[in-house]
Amino acid sequence: MGKSYRHSYKSYDNDEREERGHIPVFINLDEVFITESTVQKLLDRDGGQIEQMRRDFEDGREMVRCVLRHRAGGGYNIEDGRHRVIAAKLAGICFIEAIVVG
């Protein structure tokens, strides 16, 4: 697998991110597209990791931002952070902090 978007952002400080248009925003999880088959595949493969992230969300711990891209039909596709999106949905979170690219 290649590097995630998270790796490419590590070298930028907050001012540089804002200059490049990568300002963190809160996105309604209902607008984030992920198929049920992808959710099930990831739960089967990485259920323990997702469960820990769900508990982290419920406990109010700070999480790494997801990276999303606008979807042609509306909403967003996930570029980085599928596990976090699933965990947030399982935790009953309505909004997730993300960086929208593209």
Residue-wise pLDDT tens digits, 4-33: 444 444 434 444 444 456 789 999 999 999
The residues, ordered by sequence, that sit 6+ positions from 87 with a Cβ below 8 Å of its Cβ are 50, 51, 53, 54, 56, 57
Tens digit of each residue's pLDDT (9 = 90 or more) over 32-75: 999 999 999 999 999 999 999 999 999 999 999 999 999 999 99
Q: Two tokens at 28? A: 């309604």
- According to DSSP, residue 72 is labeled T
Tell me the domains of the chain and their CATH numbers.
5-101 (3.90.1530.10)
Query: Hey, is 99 helix, strand or coil?
Result: strand
